[in-house]
Amino acid sequence: MVKYRFDRWEDGSTSTTRTLIVTGDLTITAYYIPVTHQVGYNSTPIAVPATIDGQTVQPGQAITVEDGQQITVTVPESVEV
Partner 1 sequence: MPVFTDGFENNFAPWTGIVADPVSGTPSIVSSPVHHGVKAMSNWLAAVNYAYKTLDADYPHLFVRLYLQVNGLQDAVGRYFKVITLRDASGAVRAQVGLAASGSGVYQWELWVEGVLMQYTDAVVPNHWYCIEIEFDSTTGIHRLYRDGELIITNTTASTAAIREVDVGATEINYWYASAYFDCVAVSETYNGPEVGPTLVTYSSSPITVPATIDGQIVPSGGKIEVPLNSTITVIVPQEVTA
Query: How many Å apart are CA 81 and CA 44, to the nearest integer?
Result: 12
- The residue among 78, 70, 75, 67 whose CA lies nearest residue 3 is 67
Closer CB to partner 1, residue 25 or residue 80? 25
If one asks whether residue 69 binds partner 1 (CB under 8 A), the answer comes out as no
Q: Which of 11, 12, 19, 78 binds partner 1 (CB under 8 A)?
A: 19
Contact partners, residue 32, CB within 8 Å, separation at least 6: 4, 5, 6, 7
Closer CB to partner 1, residue 5 or residue 42? 5
> How many residues of this chain bind partner 1 (CB under 8 A)?
24
Query: How many Å apart are CA 15 and CA 43, to the nearest integer?
Result: 41
Contact positions with partner 1 (CB under 8 A) in 24-63: 24-32, 35
Per CB under 8 A, residues contacting partner 1 are: 1-6, 16-32, 35
